[in-house]
Amino acid sequence: MISTTLFPGRYVQGRSALSRLGGELARLGTRHFLICSPHPLEHLLPPVLPGVEQAGAVRTERFGRECTDQEIERLSGLAREFGAQTVTGMGGGKTLDAAKAVAARVGLPVVVVPTIASTDAPCSSVCVVYSPDGVFLRADVLPRNPDVVIVDTEVMARAPARFLVAGMGDALATWFEADSCRKGRGRNIAGDAGSMTALALARLCYETVRNFGLSARTACEAGVATPALERVVEANTLLSGLGFESGGLGAAHSIHNGLTALPAVRGLHHGEKVAFGVLASLFLTDAPMALVDEVYALCASLGLPTTFADLGLAGVSDQELLRVAEKSCAPGESIHNEPVEISPSLIQAALKAADAEGRRRVPADAGLCPSRSPLR
């Protein structure tokens, strides 16, 4: 049995880490194509642009909201036309995925600058492609991981806390999915077994979110980068990225993909849907009640969804849940890495049990956090 572990080339994190962008780009080339979400384009890039311009010629382009095949094609054309030697993505997960895909298509190194800690996309070689109206289409595995990942924790601290919380939802899944792959001899993103390194990082990811998650959320609400926030940003971005990619995915991400079939969840972040996928996976895999208790209490304290109503799916029909379940267990979905029987009706049952447990607990869990959920 061969295991493969995947890493980004370099991971730079801390206060004012964005000031390193020019220096990192200078190592990689002299013509830099930057793809930015609207907010970083207007607010985060201008202060560091002089440093970037010292690293060579720069062309910036606004990202078109959704990581679609059409958008990747458009941006690749612009990068070629500019004669780019590097591609940088600055923004949320979709912007970063698009930058990674453009760099792969044009054959260039890529620098990734997440401006929110809401997903584990930055360090990975995976690019999730959506349809123009936001439905999950597929996850492409690119030939290489990002060359540089730059994470400025002051930027993360100033972003709305909901992003950090969503990132913790995504990070929460990492250990459960990697552990399922280990038990079920599931394959990681490289198609190989996960290494003990990946499993240990996935465990550290879970423990960091469990032990420092609420403190980090509080810091983020105050707009400050405390040590707890630094830890959680690293867990959401580096540990979760290494853990899922090298440890393997399981039910939680497939249930996320299934949920995207329902238009009502479109306003939710990736990690919020993944977190509910973790809760459903606890029932799918018959997790011990002490663990169910721990994970629900954690989700409630952080403000992650624990009921259909939290997901915007109050009154969801059995037929709709079956659509979610069927999409979740489509051929090729990572849910087949779980060491248990998988079928649409079993997934539908796990979803309903997860919601029932969330509703059963609401009065008790509501006391865990003054503003129980940013979703309400």
Radius of gyration for the alpha carbons in the chain, expressed in angstroms and rounded: 20
Of the two residues 71 and 170, which places its CB atom closer to Zn ion in the complex?
Answer: 170
Instruction: For residues 49 and 235, give the distance between their C-alpha atoms in angstroms, rounded to a whole number.
Output: 28
Q: At closest approach, how far in Å is the CB of 270 from Zn ion?
A: 6
Determine contact, residues 101/118, Cβ cutoff 8 Å: no
In the residue annotation, 253 being an active-site residue is answered as yes
SS3 110: strand
**H or E stretch at 151:** strand 148-152
SS3 31: strand
Q: Which amino acid is at 360?
A: R
Q: At closest approach, how far in Å is the CB of 274 from Zn ion?
A: 5
Q: What are phi and psi of 151, to 5 degrees?
A: -125, 110
In the residue annotation, 269 being an active-site residue is answered as no
Instruction: For residues 69 and 86, give the distance between their C-alpha atoms in angstroms, rounded to a whole number.
Output: 20
Choice among 120, 147, 152, 170 that is catalytic: 170
Q: Are strands 126-130 and 136-141 parallel, antiparallel or unpaired?
A: antiparallel
Of the two residues 177 and 310, which places its CB atom closer to Zn ion in the complex?
Answer: 177
Instruction: For residues 41 and 35, give the distance between their C-alpha atoms in angstroms, rounded to a whole number.
Output: 9
Of the two residues 234 and 365, which places its CB atom closer to Zn ion in the complex?
Answer: 234
Determine contact, residues 319/344, Cβ cutoff 8 Å: no
Sheet holding 148-152, edge to edge: 11-14, 148-152, 110-114, 86-91, 31-36, 57-62
Of the two residues 147 and 170, which places its CB atom closer to Zn ion in the complex?
Answer: 170
Q: At closest approach, how far in Å is the CB of 219 from Zn ion?
A: 23
Q: At closest approach, how far in Å is the CB of 257 from Zn ion?
A: 10
Q: Which amino acid is at 18?
A: L
Of the two residues 261 and 349, which places its CB atom closer to Zn ion in the complex?
Answer: 261
Contact map string, positions 130 to 149, toward Zn ion, x by CB under 5 A: --------------------
In the residue annotation, 32 being an active-site residue is answered as no
Total binding residues toward Zn ion, as defined by CB under 5 A:
1
Of the two residues 152 and 170, which places its CB atom closer to Zn ion in the complex?
Answer: 170
Q: At closest approach, how far in Å is the CB of 28 from Zn ion?
A: 27
Choice among 270, 310, 355, 365 that is catalytic: 270
Please tell me what DSSP assigns to residue 109: -
Nearest to 23 by CA among 48, 46, 47: 48
Instruction: For residues 127 and 260, give the distance between their C-alpha atoms in angstroms, rounded to a whole number.
Output: 17
In the residue annotation, 270 being an active-site residue is answered as yes
Question: Which residue's C-beta sits nearest to Zn ion?
Answer: 170
Q: At closest approach, how far in Å is the CB of 75 from Zn ion?
A: 22
Of the two residues 7 and 136, which places its CB atom closer to Zn ion in the complex?
Answer: 136
Q: What are phi and psi of 152, to 5 degrees?
A: -95, 110
Choice among 97, 120, 147, 256 that is catalytic: 256
Instruction: Restricting to residues 225-254, name those near Zn ion by CB under 5 A.
Output: none
Nearest to 77 by CA among 61, 53, 89: 61
Number of residues that make up the chain: 376
Instruction: For residues 274 and 254, give the distance between their C-alpha atoms in angstroms, rounded to a whole number.
Output: 8
Q: At closest approach, how far in Å is the CB of 188 from Zn ion?
A: 14
Contact map string, positions 160 to 189, toward Zn ion, x by CB under 5 A: ----------x-------------------
Catalytic residues: 170, 253, 256, 270
Binding site for Zn ion (CB under 5 A): 170
